[in-house]
Amino acid sequence: MGIPVGAFLALVVGAVGVYGTQTVLHATSTDAFCMTCHSNHSLKDEVMASSHGNNSVGITVTCAQCHLPPGGFEYLVKKIIVSKDIIGYMTIDGFNTQEWLEANRKEQAELARDYLRSIDSRTCTSCHSNIYENQPESMKKVAKKMHAMNFKKAEDKRKTCIDCHKGVAHPYPKG
Which three-class secondary structure state does DSSP give residue 42? coil
Predicted local confidence at residue 41, as pLDDT: 92
Length of the chain in terms of residues written: 175
**Is 169 among the domain residues?**
no
Residue 8 has pLDDT above 70, yes or no: yes
Residue 129 has pLDDT above 90, yes or no: no
Q: Pinpoint the alpha helices (H) of 30-159.
A: 31-38, 43-49, 63-67, 72-82, 84-91, 98-118, 122-125, 141-152
52 is an annotated ligand-binding site residue: no
66 is an annotated ligand-binding site residue: yes
**Is 79 among the domain residues?**
yes
67 is an annotated ligand-binding site residue: yes
106 is an annotated ligand-binding site residue: no
124 is an annotated ligand-binding site residue: yes
**Is 171 among the domain residues?**
no
- At 32-90, the pLDDT tens digits run 999 988 999 999 999 999 999 988 888 899 999 999 988 788 888 888 888 888 888 99
pLDDT-derived band at 1 (thresholds 50, 70, 90) equals low
**Is 170 among the domain residues?**
no
78 is an annotated ligand-binding site residue: yes
**Is 131 among the domain residues?**
yes
Our count of domains for the chain comes to 1
Spatial distance between the Cα atoms of 60 and 51, rounded to a whole number of angstroms: 9
Tell me which residue range forms the domain holding 85: 5-163
Spatial distance between the Cα atoms of 82 and 13, rounded to a whole number of angstroms: 27
pTM score of the predicted model: 0.80
**Is 74 among the domain residues?**
yes
**Exposed/middle/buried for residue 64 (C-beta within 10 Å: 0-12, 13-18, 19+):** buried
63 is an annotated ligand-binding site residue: yes
- At 151-171, the pLDDT tens digits run 889 988 999 999 999 889 999
Average pLDDT over residues 82-103: 91
147 is an annotated ligand-binding site residue: no
